[in-house]
Amino acid sequence: MQPKDLLQLSEQFGSPLYVYDADKIKSQYNRLTKAFSKVEKLRINYAMKALSNVAILQLLEGMGSGLDTVSIQEVQLGLHAGYAPERIFYTPNGVSLEEIEEVNALGVQINIDNLSILEQFGAKHPNVPVCIRINPHVMAGGNANISVGHIDSKFGISVHQLPHLVRIVENTKMNIVGIHMHTGSDILDIEVFLYAAEILFDAARHFKDLEFLDFGSGFKVPYKKDDIETDIEELGKKLSKRFNEFCTEYGRNLTLIFEPGKFLVSEAGQFLAKVNVIKQTTSTVFAGIDSGFNHLIRPMFYGSQHHIENVSNPKGKERFYSVVGYICETDTFANNRRISELKEGDILSFKNAGAYCYSMASNYNSRYRPAEVLWMGGKGHLIRAHETFEDLLKNQFPLPVQEKV
Ligand SMILES: *Cc1c(COP(=O)(O)O)cnc(C)c1O
C-alpha cells in the first residue's frame, strides 16, 4: 500500500483507523505452507486473538486455514465466521471445567494444559479425543511477558510431570490424540525451536494413538528496517525433515500443526492517526496524536517499536519527534524518533499494527474504539465501524431512584 492510498483511506473513513492488507495476509499464509510443503499433512490454525475481526477470520477460512482459540467467545466468533467445528482448536489457560465441557459439546478440539482439569475431564468423558499442552521449559522469547515456555510459566503441563500425566491417562483410559506446545513469541534461533521439538517428540512417544503434533507459534516478524525475523524457510526445511523421520519411527503419518497469529497478520496491518498538536519544549518536539494506548498499547505494554511514517509528507526532511497519545497518563509511542517533517493535521502510519493492536484496544478515557478497513482489490472495505456514544452507554443503567427515608 502506498502513502497516498493510506491518506485517501483516512479521508474516506476518518481517523484514527486500522487498515489491513488482504494480499499480505495471503502471501504470509502461502509462505508458511510452502516452507512446509514436504510434510504430507500440514495444518495452519490462525491464532485469532491477534486480530479477531470476523471478516479477517473469513478471509483466512477461505485460504484453507483452521482456527486457534483461547476462549469460548472466540470459538463462537469462529463458528459465526463459518469455520466447521472440527477446524477449530481450543487452547485455553486457567479456564473452568464447565467452559471446557461447553466447548467440547460444540464439536471443537480441546487442548488441556493442567493435570487437575485433565483428570476431572478424563474421568467424566473418557472417549473424547483430547490434546495435551506440554511445557518443554525452553526459554524462547524476546520479552519476559511473552515467554510462556520457561520453568516458571503458568502455561502447559511440565515435561517433568510426564509420569504423573501418563498415569492419569492410563487410569481414566482417556483418548489422547495430540500433543501441543507453544513456547512463546519471538523465536529467533531455529536450533532452540528444534530442541523444543525433540522434547515434544519424547513426550509423544508415551502415547500410542496420536493423530497430530502441534508446535504452536512464536514466529518473529520484522518490526523495523533490518530487524531480525524467524527464518521460516530454514525452519521449514529442518523441522519437516525431523518431523517426517519421527512419523516413520512412530509408524503413522501425523498431522503437523502450527498456530501463528503475528506471522499471518502483523505486517498486514497499519494504524493511522492524525497529528493534533506539535509541542516544542526546551528539549523535545512532541507530536500529540488523536489516539493513545486505548487504541494501540503494545509500545507501552511490551516496549514494542512500531515504525512510524508520515504519510502526508513521506519524502520530507527528517526531524526528531516524540510521538505521544492523548490519554491522561504517560502515553508514549516513540521517543525522539526520526520522522519526515510533521505539521498539525498530518496522518501518521504505525506499521505492524495487525497483531495484538485492535484486539487489545479499550474504551479508556471513554474514547471510542476506531474503525477497521480491509484493503482488497485496490479498495478499502469497512469491516468495523467507529464506535458511537450509544456503545459507551450500552449495558449501563442509571442510578436507581432511592426511596426518601
Ligand atoms: C497467542 C498464541 C499463539 C499465537 O502466537 P503468535 O506469537 O501471535 O504467533 C499461538 N498459540 C497459542 C496457544 C497462543 O496462546
Contact 110, 132 (CB under 8 A): no
From 44, 49, 200, mutation site for ligand 1 pocket: most ligand atoms within 8 A of C-beta: 49
Distance in Å, CA 221 to ligand 1 centroid: 13
In this prediction, residue 137 carries a pLDDT of: 85
* Reported confidence tier of residue 145, pLDDT bands at 50, 70, 90: very low
In this prediction, residue 152 carries a pLDDT of: 64
Residue 405 has pLDDT above 70, yes or no: no
Atom of ligand 1 nearest to the CA of 148: 15
Mean pLDDT of 51-62: 98
Distance in Å, CA 299 to ligand 1 centroid: 19
Could you tell me the maximum CA-CA distance found in the chain, to the nearest angstrom?
A: 81
Distance in Å, CA 145 to ligand 1 centroid: 13
In this prediction, residue 2 carries a pLDDT of: 95
From 32, 65, 68, mutation site for ligand 1 pocket: most ligand atoms within 8 A of C-beta: 68
- 191 in helix, strand or coil? helix
Contact 302, 315 (CB under 8 A): no
Residues of the chain with CATH 3.20.20.10: 36-264
From 135, 147, 185, 267, mutation site for ligand 1 pocket: most ligand atoms within 8 A of C-beta: 185
Residue 279 has pLDDT above 60, yes or no: yes
In this prediction, residue 227 carries a pLDDT of: 87
pLDDT tens, 179-207?
999 976 467 788 888 988 999 999 999 99
Residues 6+ apart with CB under 8 A from 49: 69, 70, 74, 261, 356, 359
Atom of ligand 1 nearest to the CA of 260: 9
pLDDT tens, 346-384?
999 999 999 999 999 999 999 999 999 999 999 999 999
Predicted TM-score (pTM) of this structure: 0.95
131, 247, 328, 357: the active-site residue: 328
In this prediction, residue 39 carries a pLDDT of: 98
In this prediction, residue 347 carries a pLDDT of: 98
Mean pLDDT of 285-306: 96
Atom of ligand 1 nearest to the CA of 218: 7
Distance in Å, CA 23 to ligand 1 centroid: 22
Task: Give the pocket of ligand 1 (CB within 6 Å).
Answer: 47, 49-50, 68, 70, 91, 182, 185, 216-219, 259-263, 355
What topology does CATH give the domain 36-264? TIM Barrel (3.20.20)
Residues 6+ apart with CB under 8 A from 233: 35
Distance in Å, CA 113 to ligand 1 centroid: 14
Residue 154 has pLDDT above 90, yes or no: no
pLDDT tens, 308-348?
999 999 999 999 999 999 999 889 999 999 999 999 999 99
In this prediction, residue 149 carries a pLDDT of: 57
Residue 140 has pLDDT above 60, yes or no: no
Is residue 328 annotated as part of the catalytic site, yes or no? Answer: yes
In this prediction, residue 186 carries a pLDDT of: 65
Distance in Å, CA 70 to ligand 1 centroid: 9
Distance in Å, CA 11 to ligand 1 centroid: 34
Residue 392 has pLDDT above 80, yes or no: yes
Residue 215 backbone dihedrals phi, psi, to 5 degrees: -95, 10
Residue 28 has pLDDT above 80, yes or no: yes
In this prediction, residue 193 carries a pLDDT of: 86
Q: How far is residue 350 from each of residues 3, 226, 263, 295, measured CA to CA in Å?
A: 12, 17, 17, 12
Atom of ligand 1 nearest to the CA of 185: 7
Residue 151 has pLDDT above 70, yes or no: no
Atom of ligand 1 nearest to the CA of 262: 8
Distance in Å, CA 218 to ligand 1 centroid: 7
CATH number of 269-382: 2.40.37.10
DSSP code string of 289-301: ES--TTT--HHHH
Residues of the chain with CATH 2.40.37.10: 269-382
Atom of ligand 1 nearest to the CA of 184: 7
Residues 6+ apart with CB under 8 A from 350: 270, 271, 272, 273, 296, 306, 307, 308, 333
From 89, 154, 180, 182, mutation site for ligand 1 pocket: most ligand atoms within 8 A of C-beta: 182
C-alpha cell at 56: 479477517
Residue in 210, 196, 216 with CA at minimum distance from that of residue 249: 210
Look over the chain and give the mean of its residue pLDDT values, rounded to a whole number: 94
The protein residue with its alpha carbon nearest to ligand 1, atom 4, reads: 261
